[in-house]
Every structure is written in structure tokens, then in C-alpha cells.
Amino acid sequence: MDYLQIIGGTKLSGSINISGAKNSALPVIAATILSDKPVTLTNLPNVVDIRTLLKLLTMLGGSVEQNDTVAVVNNGFMNSTKAVYEIVSQMRASILVLGPLLARFGECEVSLPGGCAIGQRPIDMHLKALEAMGAKIEIKGGYVRAEAPNGLHGAKIVFDKITVGGTENTIMAAALAHGVTTIVNAAKEPEIVQLCEMIAGAGVEIEGIGSSKIVIHGTGQKSLTFKEVEIIPDRIEAGTYLCAAAITQSMITLNKVNAEHIQASIDKLEAMGCSFEIEETSITIKPAQKLKFVDLITTEYPGFPTDMQAQFMAVATIAEGESLIEERLFENRFMHVSELNRLGADIWLKGNIAAVRPVKTLYGADVMATDLRASSALVLAGLIANGVTNVHRIYHLDRGYDNLEGKLSALGANITRLHG
């Protein structure tokens, strides 16, 4: 199995390009199911999750022609509506095909994703929303079987809790439904905005894009015709490299990035003493003279993202003063704590709060990646640890980081992918 070997202690410098956002590309790819014509997608990141979802489309009878970051997806000849366990178990976000398959074909079967390392992650709100739109849903044999033979109808959906995937599934289903769907307590993430703009670009009237109340005027049509979609920059990848600069006390520049999408991370890094030069599509981070502690609570966009919690914890390990990090979205998203402690960090957990007491230095060791973002926190810690850090189980990293070791090497880090 591949692992990353990092020899800590080098400063970073220079600039890199940020890739397209995995979490935006996933719903955009799922939304192509709403069309029976080819759709061109550009700026796709080269990560395993994207390949997995594209493979799922081909298993359903779609075709994908890909050249580097550009793919033309044609779902005109789809002949299956069953998303099998083999794929969904590899990637939970496959559940995003549920809404569009049901809306376009009037029936589908999608394997239940189950829990994952960071929590139970139910999909009850996705199902309730589709039921409110007229779907008959049954859970049998580990599959969600959904039917709406006469099509879906508009409905008022009030989410009990903000859900990114649930909002996305509902928007996609509502686009082909008959009548108006109103989503109250909708997610406001930039990825939701991109999905809405893609669907609005196909002629579907959508009000309240980017707000917590989205109104979709369903077309009642069988299919949509999409314009080309350019995937937005990955705000989590960008935030991770900002943390790499902060922890190594380096100055680096990120290109092809949208600073507005990472304001919460920028604010926290500023509070820790870093400074920024922000241009329209680039950000330069300058090191803190003395890195200070950080207090943060994860919450929905535009608040501080749970997907950046682990990386900030890595930075906090060597910052001056005790940091308090509270995880509010997922019940088990602290798996990186014990691994960071293996590198010499001093982190204590009480319920969903981690207290990070500063240490003078970290020491290289073998550590194990447990989920996607936890893995990148271990890489960040390895960048400053004395000696050699081997990060194992990096298949988690490969799911969502495009060429992490290549980009970090380009910035001067001593990081190598090894096999064994």
C-alpha cells in the first residue's frame, strides 16, 4: 500500500494552482443525469472520488470522455437506474444520484451508504424531502428503492438541520418536478451555489441562490440541456495549503482560488498572526511572527468548515497558548487526535471539544490516516516534525487531494510517495 514519507523541517516557498472542488464536482456530475445530451465539465480535480462517480455513471449506461481536467458526460443512453453497493460503499457521495435518477426516470435503486469514520451520517432528510415531492420510498436489502412513476411534484421542504447533500438532492429532483419546490433551512455552501447556477443555466427558474430559502420552479420536463460547467476552486484544498504555510512559517501564493469562499479560514489564520495579500484569483499568505492559539467552532457555511478542523488542529499543536476546537457537525471527527499525539502533540478531548496545549516541537513517527481531512492534518504535522513521518493509508487522501505530494514538493517540502 502507498504511504507518504515526509522529512520535516523545510520551509515552503513559491506558488501552486488550486484544483477544482471535489465537493462541487460531485453534485455537478450527478446533475448531468438530468440531461439526455452531452454535458462538458471543466476544471475537474484528478481525485479518486471523481473517478468513482464517473465510473458509476458508466455503469448506469452513461458515457464519459475525459481529457485531463475536462470531461464530456453523455447520459443520453442510460439503461440502468441501480447504483450498486460496490460503488456506494467506496464513496458515500454516490447518494447524490438518488434525486436526479428518480426525477429523470421515475424510479431508481441506490445502495444505502451506511456510516463512515467520522459519524453515522444518516440520509433521512434526503428521503423525507423526496417523499414530500411524491416519491414512494422503501428500504430493502440495503437499498433505497424510490418510485415516482408519474413524476415528482413541488413541495415545501423544511430541513430540521442544514444538510449539504440533502439540499443538493432536493434541488436536482425539483428541477424536473412539476411545480414549485421551496427549501427552507437550505445549505448555503459555494458548492450549492454552483449546482443552482448550473441548473438555472439550463433554464430552470431558481430564486434565493446562496440563501437559506431556495425556490425552484420545476420544469416538469423529461430532461434539461446544460451549458458547459467550470468547477469552482476547491476551498478546502486551498485552506489546507494555507495551513501548510502557517505551520511551517512560510510565505506561499495560491493561484486559481476564490478568497471569499475561504474567509472563515483566513480570519482564523489572521487571528493566529498570519497576514494575507488577496487578489482576485490569488492569495499570498505571510507567516506569523509568533503563531498564536486559535479557538474555533465548526459550523455550516459561511462559518468555519468542519472539513478544515483537523488541519487547524495540526497548526494549533505548536501555536502559543491553549487552543479550543469544538466539532459541532459530526459526532466522531476527532480520529486524528491520537495520531497527532503520536507525533508529540498534547491534545485532550472532552466530548466534542479538543483542547490543544502547545508543544515546542513534534517528532516524526509512523501514523495512520483515518479519513480524508484527518490525513492532511497528519501531513501538515509531518512538515514540521523532527525526523521522518510516514503517513499510512493514504487512500483516504487520494479520494480528495489532487497531487498533494506533487504540490507540496513544488513548494519545497521533502515529501515522497512510497510503496510498501
Residues within the interface to ligand UD1 (CB under 6 A)? 23, 26, 93, 119, 121-126, 161, 163-166, 191, 306-307, 329-330
Q: 403 burial class (0-12, 13-18, 19+ CB within 10 angstroms)?
A: middle
End-to-end CA, the chain: 5
For the range 85-88, what are the long-range contacts, defined as Cβ-Cβ under 8 Å and sequence gap of 24 or more? 85/111, 85/142, 85/143, 87/52, 87/55, 87/56, 87/59, 87/111, 88/112, 88/113
Nearest approach, Cβ of residue 262 and ligand UD1 (Å): 14
- Rank residues 3 and 401 by Cβ distance to ligand UD1 and give the closer one: 401
- Who's near 67: CB < 8 A, 6+ residues apart? none
Q: Nearer Cβ to ligand UD1, position 28 or 125?
A: 125
Helix (H, G, I), strand (E, B) or coil at 412: coil
Q: Quick one: 135 or 319, whose CB is closer to ligand UD1?
A: 135
What phi and psi, each to the nearest 5 degrees, are found at residue 166? -65, -40
Quote the least distance from Cβ 51 to ligand UD1, whole Å. 15
CB contact burial 337-347 (16+ within 10 A = b; e otherwise): bebbbbbbbeb
User: At closest approach, how far in Å is the CB of 93 from ligand UD1?
Assistant: 4
List 108, 116, 196, 274, catalytic entry:
116
Give the span between the Cα atoms of 227 and 42, in whole angstroms: 11
Contacts with 350 (C-beta within 8 Å, 6 or more apart), sequence order: none
* Annotation marks residue 116 as catalytic: yes
* Cell numbers representing residue 150 in the block: 408519474
145 vs 292, which CB is nearer to ligand UD1?
145
Of residues 239 and 344, the one with the C-beta less far from ligand UD1: 239
Q: Which residue is nearest to ligand UD1 (CB)?
A: 165
Residue 253 CB, shortest distance to ligand UD1, in Å, is 26
SS3 12: coil
Please report the DSSP string for 299-359 in residue order.
Answer: -STTS--GGGHHHHHHHHTTSBS-EEEE--S-TT--THHHHHHHTT-EEEEETTEEEEE--
User: Could you tell me whether strands 107-111 and 143-147 are parallel, antiparallel, or unpaired per DSSP bridges?
Assistant: antiparallel
Query: Rounded CA gap, 408 and 343, in Å?
Result: 20
Cβ neighbours, 10 Å, residue 141: 10
* Nearest CB to ligand UD1, comparing residues 241 and 304: 304
Please state the closest distance from residue 73 (CB atom) to ligand UD1, in A: 18
Shortest Cβ 122–ligand UD1 spacing (Å): 4
Q: Catalytic amino acids?
A: 116
